[in-house]
């Protein structure tokens, strides 16, 4: 039931980039000099006892300046791994094995950890799902916020403290002078997430990666945090990559969305297009399995089957074993590549017209 | 309930501990065969002379009433007269206490100085070559008895290369630091393996924590990451381990002080046992008991100082 929060002030459960969305004026088109962040055929492999897990299997996407891009999918679809790969903070047994991560056109993949340290926190930063475990429990909150400017911008102790206080004010932490010296356990969940956001903002990054930052929060707090992120995005022109499994959250915040399945992108396009008019049976399933506040359905439609094994994925389209539209050609290797559709959309489905048919019959007047 | 109330409660807990120690020691030492009067008077002592001394020291009374007398004096801060030296045991012990405290603190500092970098090296590359070396080599220190390690150190560093004196306490701060290095190192070698293991284990736990990923995602350089984020969190559980082991180590100083001829209460205790100097043995044991409790209290207090989440209420 965590979905109501996203639609509290709007008519529909699903809204586009207007309203609270950041950079309201056509962000994709207005980007000067191309995308800030671009992934090209990114592959991440995890060595496990059961074999090599293809956690991220050829993901390509781009994020324009000031744009918020959503990354949605089930657990284990590779969303979080994609984010961690961008920052180079993968778990020790995981590796980027192919592809490029371009920040302002420069590839991050070949960089050493020391070189990455000059980019992490400064140009790209990250917000995590669990603000309690993501904050150092024995370090004062103010010092955690001030650490970035100290390390990256060479600020003096007092200047960094001033910066931290300023950030705390910007993210809406009341009484920052007193709270500066407090420890994370003295904060509520929502306030902790505001601290995380302040940390992420501390060096004025170009991109903030958000790993389900609202999942651990209750609904009203969730909405506040989303509005805060949208506002900061609008004010400072920072881009967001927002990982979630929560479609209305994506609808509230993002302009474009990538739907991930089995480590690959199933569908990509404008939020409104993808969520209202899916061109991939998996997206269709996701949209239908999400409860809709306005339109009470007879019952929620679950996607049959379970997510694919990423050690030995099904041949061809990863989704075909669970797909009602699957035909012989869906089982053929290699997996179908993303194909361009009108309106800057992309889908991996060979039979995407079938989605249109289904939607058309569902929406015809009864 | 604040910090003060916690400290007071813990200090009150000293009373039953101390009473327990006195009971055990008092009755155990009287179980040991041997007679202080005969020790002092020598083998040609007449029964009459022995009886006079016994009467003078109250040793002719029943044990329980002797214990009662001992406790009565103790409550007045008096541990009784040393039977051998004929001076108050309290003064004797207080005069010897600094050397022992020096040894314990010096050894603890050395152990920490050795353990922190080694644990960091081990934890930074889990299961690497350096990790295995750091985990295996200190076990030698744990496996060898301290008096043997002490003798080896004396042989190598005092007799062979003459960097340190063979024995003694030294004078002045620098003198103590120099003269006590080998005994402190001996104790540290016994202590460090335990601390290294505890610290390495807690560092590995901390390294897997989400807030370390946060710190890495902030672009914190590796050195700062280890000192400010990993170590700061990892020492918290290790402090308890250190505290408990310093408790053991206080008992261990008895042997080390004898190997290195350090005039501490451990040496005093051994001599007093041989001389059947009951009041001094009782006094020293009591001091050892109190020290162990105080060290653990100190460990708990530093635990609380290091971890802001710890509250003293309950």
ipTM: 0.80
- Give chain B's domains with CATH numbers: 3-75 (no CATH), 95-306 (1.10.3720.10)
pLDDT band at A353 (very low <50, low <70, confident <90, very high): confident
In angstroms, how far is the first alpha carbon of chain A from the final one?
28
Yes or no, beta carbons of A87 and B217 under 8 Å apart: yes
pLDDT surpassing 60 at residue B175 = yes
pTM over 0.90: no
Percentage of chain A exceeding pLDDT 70: 87
The CA distance from A143 to A167, in Å, is 12
- pLDDT tens-digit map of A34-53: 799 999 999 999 998 888 88
Q: Which residues in chain B touch residue A119, judged by CB atoms under 8 angstroms apart?
A: 219
What is the number of H-type helices and E-type strands within chain B?
A: 15, 0
Give Dmax over CA atoms of chain B in angstroms. 85
Give the list of residues 6+ apart from residue A56 with CB closer than 8 angstroms, or none.
Answer: A42, A43, A44, A78, A81, A82, A85, A263
- pLDDT tens-digit map of B59-79: 888 888 888 888 888 888 888
- pLDDT tens-digit map of A91-130: 888 999 999 999 998 999 999 889 999 999 999 999 998 8
CA-atom Rg of chain A in angstroms: 21
Q: Which residues in chain A touch residue B309, judged by CB atoms under 8 angstroms apart?
A: 137-138, 183, 185
Mean pLDDT of all residues belonging to chain B? 86
- pLDDT tens-digit map of A241-259: 999 888 888 998 999 999 9
Residues 284-313 (A) with a CB less than 8 A from some CB of B:
none
| Residue A213 backbone phi and psi in degrees, to 5 | -70, -10
Please state whether the peptide bond connecting residue A334 to the residue before it is cis, i.e. omega within 30 degrees of 0. Answer: yes
pLDDT surpassing 50 at residue A26 = no
Neighbours of B148 (CB within 10 A): 11
Neighbours of B4 (CB within 10 A): 9
DSSP label of A88: T
- pLDDT tens-digit map of A181-206: 999 999 998 899 999 999 999 999 99
Yes or no, beta carbons of B213 and A134 under 8 Å apart: yes
C-alpha A214 chain-centroid distance? 11
The CA distance from A329 to A345, in Å, is 22
Yes or no, beta carbons of A139 and B217 under 8 Å apart: no
Q: Which residues in chain B touch residue A164, judged by CB atoms under 8 angstroms apart?
A: none
Residue A215 C-alpha, separation from nearest chain B C-alpha, in angstroms:
16
The CA distance from A17 to A244, in Å, is 16
How is the beta sheet containing A339-341 ordered, strand by strand? A124-127, A207-211, A239-244, A68-72, A256-261, A264-270, A345-347, A339-341
The CA distance from B254 to B106, in Å, is 15
Yes or no, beta carbons of B211 and A133 under 8 Å apart: yes
Report the residue of chain A nearest B232, measured CA to CA: A138
């Amino acid at each position: 039931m965590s979905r109501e929060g996203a639609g509290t002030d709007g008519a529909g459960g699903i809204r586009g980039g207007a309203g609270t969305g950041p950079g309201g004026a056509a962000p994709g088109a207005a980007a000067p000099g191309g995308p800030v962040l671009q992934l090209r055929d990114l592959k991440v492999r995890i060595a496990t006892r059961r074999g090599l897990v293809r956690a991220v299997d050829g993901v390509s996407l781009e994020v324009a300046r000031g744009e918020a891009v959503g990354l949605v999918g089930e657990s284990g679809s590779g969303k979080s791994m994609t984010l961690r790969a961008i920052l180079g903070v993968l778990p020790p047994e995981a590796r980027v094995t192919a592809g490029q991560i371009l920040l302002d056109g420069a590839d991050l993949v070949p960089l050493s950890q020391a070189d990455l340290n000059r980019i992490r926190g400064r140009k790209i930063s990250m917000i995590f799902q669990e603000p309690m475990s993501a904050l150092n429990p024995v370090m004062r909150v103010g010092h955690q916020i001030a650490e970035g400017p100290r390390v990256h911008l060479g600020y003096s102790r007092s200047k960094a403290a001033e910066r931290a206080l300023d950030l705390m004010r910007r993210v809406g932490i009341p009484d920052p002078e007193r709270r500066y010296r407090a420890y994370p356990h003295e904060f509520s969940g929502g306030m902790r997430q505001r601290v995380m956001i302040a940390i992420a903002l501390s060096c004025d990054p170009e991109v903030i990666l958000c790993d389900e930052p609202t999942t651990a929060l209750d609904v009203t707090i969730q909405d506040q945090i989303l509005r805060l992120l949208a506002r900061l995005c609008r004010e400072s022109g920072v881009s967001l990559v927002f990982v979630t499994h929560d479609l209305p959250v994506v609808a509230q915040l993002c302009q474009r969305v990538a739907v991930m399945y089995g480590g690959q992108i199933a569908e990509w396009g404008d939020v409104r297009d993808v969520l209202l008019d899916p061109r991939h049976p998996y997206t269709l399933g996701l949209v239908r399995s999400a409860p809709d506040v306005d339109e009470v359905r007879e019952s929620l439609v679950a996607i049959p089957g379970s997510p694919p094994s990423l050690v030995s994925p099904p041949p061809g389209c990863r989704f075909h074993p669970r797909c009602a539209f699957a035909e012989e050609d869906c089982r053929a290797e290699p997996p179908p590549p993303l194909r361009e559709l009108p309106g800057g959309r992309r889908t991996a489905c060979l039979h995407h017209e079938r989605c249109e048919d289904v939607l058309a019959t569902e929406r015809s007047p009864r | 309930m604040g910090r003060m109330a916690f400290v007071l409660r813990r200090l009150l807990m000293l009373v039953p501990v101390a009473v327990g120690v006195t009971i055990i020691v008092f009755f155990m030492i009287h179980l040991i065969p041997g007679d202080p009067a005969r020790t002092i008077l020598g083998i040609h002592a007449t029964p009459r002379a022995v009886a006079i001394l016994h009467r003078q020291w109250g040793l002719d009374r029943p044990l329980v009433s002797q214990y009662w007398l001992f406790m009565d004096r103790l409550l007045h801060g008096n541990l009784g007269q040393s039977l051998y030296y004929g001076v108050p045991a309290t003064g004797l012990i207080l005069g010897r206490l600094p050397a022992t405290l020096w040894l314990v603190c010096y050894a603890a500092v050395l152990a920490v100085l050795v353990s922190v970098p080694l644990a960091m090296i081990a934890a930074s590359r889990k299961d690497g070559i350096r990790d295995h070396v750091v985990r295996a080599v200190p076990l030698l220190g744990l496996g060898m008895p301290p008096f043997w390690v002490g003798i080896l150190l004396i042989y190598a560093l005092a007799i062979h290369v003459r960097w340190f004196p063979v024995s003694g306490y030294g004078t002045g701060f620098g003198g103590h630091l120099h003269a006590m290095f080998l005994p402190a190192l001996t104790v540290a070698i016994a202590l460090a393996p335990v601390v290294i293991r505890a610290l390495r284990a807690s560092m590995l736990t901390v390294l897997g924590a989400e807030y370390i990923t946060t710190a890495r995602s902030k672009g914190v350089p590796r050195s700062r990451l280890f000192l400010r984020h990993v170590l700061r969190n990892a020492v918290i559980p290790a402090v308890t381990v250190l505290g408990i082991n310093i408790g053991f180590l206080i008992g261990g100083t008895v042997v080390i002080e004898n190997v290195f001829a350090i005039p501490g209460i451990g040496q005093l205790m051994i001599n007093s046992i041989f001389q059947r100097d009951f009041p001094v043995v009782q006094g020293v044991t009591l001091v050892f008991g109190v020290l162990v409790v105080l060290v653990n209290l100190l460990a708990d207090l530093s635990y609380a100082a290091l971890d802001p989440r710890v509250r003293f209420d309950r």
